[in-house]
């Protein structure tokens, strides 16, 4: 590729890719992750192959505490990454050994503790309201205690760059205190995010020189330079980079980890993730966006839907000559695609691989091309198959004429009503669904009640299917997610519903799309039952 460059210097022998999506990323406005969300995201991050996953702040809030308990109980099994717990230095005037939050960190089950300490003198004096000496003692005490208890420790130096500008000696002392107490890495944090690359490299180089410490970088995007600031720190000797998937985070967000890693792998020629993992980046970035329910930006570097999309007429014919004249990297290297159609899975090769995974022979090029066209067409209409494996298999089987028809809905109707009577503080809220279903050769008419329209439809469908397919008793809807696709139109917009269903052994996800949330939900619901019946072997008779 013409834009590739030789590495400015060789890859360091030990380099950490450290993800803080579950901690700092979750500080983003509007983001609220459940324990289940965090477990799913951690699984995706592990698949991407990051070295460290910062799971949260145990002891500080019940959600994070529950996440570490679930991980320790075996609900999270990591192949590549090391789970890390975040926490503060012990309280002012206390002892680390007696500090409940230090205990929560120590007992979190995480092999690594990432301890954040103040390194800006004004923050120590005015926000923490203690002496500069006590802050250093807090660092020494906390790190020493955790290391003695068998935990590896990284130290996040909060507000380091601003602090270094105000009081170079004190900020440097914080790094020294941490390293002397046994911390492995001192992570220099641009907490307020206002730095620019030349300032970051100058400070990192100076601190590396004056302390000899192993340094890391934690950047925020307030000046629009988080990725560049991270690279500038690496150029100056940092060997630990912190960031979040999709650049999630408070204010303008953290350094977006995918472009950081992709730049280092594809432009420096380093190998940081397990071989082949970077090519999963687009899929995993989008899968995580499905969990956070934050619509991804189409313009996101490397993984955005538009990031290798060409519109300019003057490029169109030249792209045919050689696409590499018009793209900075081969998009396949990050699992993205040059075509402009709305497709995450895009290309035929992906569909073939996916089909083979599911046990279908798609080696026929015409057949694979036909299915690819169908997928693209449906993705352009708003369907997503990235997060909806079950709907993808149903689509594939439908195209291959291998999909049994388990039931056909002749009609359904749902109504919800709310009545407030004068003088009566209790409001009446009712929902009812009626369904006429053709299953097993006869037509059934059922009525379902529920606390919501989809719940009522679910009850009705279940009741109608039960006599014919008793296995549906085991099906349970475990997740229901709605996203508006084209914003700017309010309730007129296209709506996508994802439903996750479990039979107690495994779970599967289906998708429905429409302008009507109930109709889109019905589509996903019907596919959820069809797929469950298919898996249970109900179609074999």
Q: Which of residues 196-235 bind a copy of itself (CB under 8 A)?
A: 196-199, 221-225, 227-229, 231-232, 235
Residue placing its CB nearer to a copy of itself in the complex, 317 or 540: 317
Binding mask 23-62 for a copy of itself (x = CB under 8 A): ----xxxx-x-x-xx----------------------xx-
Q: How far is the CB of 443 from a copy of itself (least distance, A)?
A: 11
Under the criterion CB under 8 A, does residue 451 sit at the interface with a copy of itself? yes
Q: How far is the CB of 455 from a copy of itself (least distance, A)?
A: 4
From 94-102, 130-138, 172-180, 416-424, span contacting a copy of itself (CB under 8 A) = 416-424
List 95, 365, 413, 474, residue binding a copy of itself (CB under 8 A): 413
From 94-102, 349-357, 364-372, 453-461, span contacting a copy of itself (CB under 8 A) = 453-461
From 68-76, 175-183, 390-398, 516-524, span contacting a copy of itself (CB under 8 A) = 516-524
Under the criterion CB under 8 A, does residue 345 sit at the interface with a copy of itself? yes
Binding mask 180-199 for a copy of itself (x = CB under 8 A): -----------xxxxxxxxx
Q: How far is the CB of 351 from a copy of itself (least distance, A)?
A: 17
Under the criterion CB under 8 A, does residue 256 sit at the interface with a copy of itself? yes
Name 334's Cβ contacts closer than 8 Å, sequence gap at least 6. Answer: 258, 262, 266, 278, 279, 281, 282, 302, 303
Sign of CA dihedral 129, 134, 136, 139: negative
Sign of CA dihedral 288, 291, 294, 296: positive
Under the criterion CB under 8 A, does residue 507 sit at the interface with a copy of itself? no
How many Å apart are CA 54 and CA 283, to the nearest integer?
A: 21
Residue placing its CB nearer to a copy of itself in the complex, 77 or 418: 418
Alpha helices in 346-493 (DSSP H): 348-357, 365-380, 389-399, 453-465
Q: How far is the CB of 10 from a copy of itself (least distance, A)?
A: 16
Q: Coil, strand, or helix at residue 344?
A: coil
What single string gives the DSSP state of each residue in 2-60? TT----SSPPPSS-EEEE-TTTTGGGSTT----HHHHHHHHHHHHHHT-SEEE---TTT
End-to-end CA gap in the chain: 55
Q: Coil, strand, or helix at residue 153?
A: strand
List 149, 250, 332, 399, residue binding a copy of itself (CB under 8 A): 250
List 11, 65, 144, 327, residue binding a copy of itself (CB under 8 A): 327
Determine the distance from the C-alpha atom of residue 528 to the mean position of all C-alpha atoms in its chain, rounded to a whole number.
Answer: 24
Q: How far is the CB of 342 from a copy of itself (least distance, A)?
A: 10
Site for a copy of itself in 258-277 (CB under 8 A): 259-260, 262-263, 267
Q: How far is the CB of 364 from a copy of itself (least distance, A)?
A: 25
Determine the distance from the C-alpha atom of residue 434 to the mean position of all C-alpha atoms in its chain, rounded to a whole number.
Answer: 38
List 410, 445, 449, 473, residue binding a copy of itself (CB under 8 A): 410
List 7, 415, 445, 467, residue binding a copy of itself (CB under 8 A): 415
Q: Coil, strand, or helix at residue 389?
A: helix
Residue placing its CB nearer to a copy of itself in the complex, 106 or 267: 267
- Contacts with a copy of itself: how many residues (CB under 8 A)? 143
Strand partners, 156: 116, 187
270-276, Cβ contacts within 8 angstroms, sequence gap of 24 or more: 270/7, 270/11, 270/15, 271/11, 272/11, 272/15, 272/17, 273/17, 273/48, 273/49, 273/50, 274/49, 274/80
Under the criterion CB under 8 A, does residue 13 sit at the interface with a copy of itself? no
From 149-157, 176-184, 497-505, 529-537, span contacting a copy of itself (CB under 8 A) = 497-505
Q: How far is the CB of 296 from a copy of itself (least distance, A)?
A: 11
How many Å apart are CA 299 and CA 267, to the nearest integer?
A: 20
Number of residues that this document lists for the chain: 541
Sign of CA dihedral 359, 365, 371, 375: positive
Site for a copy of itself in 347-376 (CB under 8 A): none
Beta strands (DSSP E) in 195-285 are: 215-219, 240-243
List 252, 279, 399, 400, residue binding a copy of itself (CB under 8 A): 252
List 69, 72, 341, 400, residue binding a copy of itself (CB under 8 A): 341
List 74, 359, 366, 411, residue binding a copy of itself (CB under 8 A): 411
List 176, 328, 370, 535, residue binding a copy of itself (CB under 8 A): 328
List 43, 59, 387, 532, residue binding a copy of itself (CB under 8 A): 387
How many Å apart are CA 435 and CA 457, to the nearest integer?
A: 8
Q: Is the distance from CB of 335 to CB of 258 less than 8 angstroms?
A: no
Task: Provide the token pair at 268.
Answer: 């420096």
Site for a copy of itself in 279-318 (CB under 8 A): 293, 295, 297-302, 304-314, 318
From 154-162, 170-178, 280-288, 365-373, span contacting a copy of itself (CB under 8 A) = 154-162
How many Å apart are CA 7 and CA 274, to the nearest integer?
A: 19
Site for a copy of itself in 73-132 (CB under 8 A): 88, 120, 122-123, 126-127
Q: How far is the CB of 131 from a copy of itself (least distance, A)?
A: 17
Q: How far is the CB of 246 from a copy of itself (least distance, A)?
A: 10
Under the criterion CB under 8 A, does residue 489 sit at the interface with a copy of itself? yes
User: Based on C-alpha coordinates, what's the Rg of the chain?
Assistant: 27
From 79-87, 356-364, 489-497, 531-539, span contacting a copy of itself (CB under 8 A) = 489-497
Q: Is the distance from CB of 85 to CB of 114 less than 8 angstroms?
A: yes
How many Å apart are CA 26 and CA 35, to the nearest integer?
A: 12
């Amino acid at each position: 590729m013409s834009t590739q460059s030789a590495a400015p210097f060789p890859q360091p022998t030990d380099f950490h890719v450290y993800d803080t999506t579950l901690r700092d990323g979750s500080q983003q406005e509007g983001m609220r992750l459940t324990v289940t969300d965090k477990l799913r995201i951690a699984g995706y991050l592990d698949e991407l192959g990051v070295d460290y996953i910062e799971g949260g702040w145990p002891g500080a809030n019940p959600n994070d505490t529950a996440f570490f308990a679930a991980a320790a109980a075996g609900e999270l099994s990591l192949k590549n990454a090391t789970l890390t717990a975040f926490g503060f230095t012990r309280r002012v005037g206390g002892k680390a050994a007696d500090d409940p939050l230090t205990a929560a960190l120590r007992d979190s089950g995480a092999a690594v503790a990432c301890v954040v300490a103040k390194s800006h003198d004004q923050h120590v004096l005015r926000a923490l309201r203690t002496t500069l000496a006590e802050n250093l003692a807090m660092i020494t005490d906390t790190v020493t205690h955790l290391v003695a208890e068998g935990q590896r420790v990284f130290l996040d130096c909060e507000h380091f760059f601003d602090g270094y500008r105000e009081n170079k000696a004190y900020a440097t002392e914080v790094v020294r205190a941490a390293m002397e107490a046994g911390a492995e890495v001192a992570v220099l944090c641009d907490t307020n995010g206002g730095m620019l690359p030349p300032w970051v490299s100058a400070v990192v180089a100076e601190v590396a020189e004056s302390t000899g410490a192993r340094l890391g970088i934690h950047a925020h995007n307030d000046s629009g330079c988080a990725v560049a600031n991270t690279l500038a720190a690496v150029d100056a000797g940092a060997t630990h980079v912190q960031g979040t998937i999709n650049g999630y985070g408070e204010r303008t967000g953290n350094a977006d980890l995918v472009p950081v890693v992709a730049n280092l792998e594809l432009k420096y020629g380093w190998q940081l993730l397990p071989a082949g993992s970077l090519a999963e980046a687009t899929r995993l970035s989008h899968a995580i966006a499905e969990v956070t329910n934050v619509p991804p930006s189409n313009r996101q570097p490397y993984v955005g839907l538009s990031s290798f999309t060409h519109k300019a007429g003057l490029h169109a014919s030249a792209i045919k000559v050689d696409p590499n004249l018009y793209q900075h990297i081969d998009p396949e290297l990050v699992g993205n695609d040059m075509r402009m159609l709305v497709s995450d899975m895009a290309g035929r090769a992906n569909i073939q691989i996916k089909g083979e995974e599911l046990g279908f022979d798609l080696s026929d090029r015409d057949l694979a091309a036909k299915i690819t066209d169908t997928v693209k067409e449906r993705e352009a209409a708003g369907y997503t198959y990235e997060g909806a494996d079950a709907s993808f298999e149903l689509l594939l089987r439908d195209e291959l004429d291998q999909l049994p028809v388990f039931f056909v809905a002749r009609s359904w109707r749902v109504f919800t009503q709310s009545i407030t009577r004068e003088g009566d503080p209790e409001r009446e809220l009712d929902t009812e669904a009626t369904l006429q279903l053709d299953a097993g050769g006869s037509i059934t008419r059922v009525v379902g009640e529920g606390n919501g329209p989809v719940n009522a439809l679910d009850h009705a469908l279940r009741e109608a299917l039960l006599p014919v397919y008793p296995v549906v008793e085991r099906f349970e809807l475990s997740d229901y997610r709605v996203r508006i696709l084209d914003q700017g139109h309010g309730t007129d917009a296209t709506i996508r519903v994802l439903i996750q269903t479990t039979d107690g052994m495994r779970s599967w996800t289906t998708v429905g799309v429409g302008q009507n949330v109930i109709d889109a939900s019905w589509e996903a619901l019907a596919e959820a039952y069809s797929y469950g019946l298919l898996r249970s072997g109900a179609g074999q008779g």
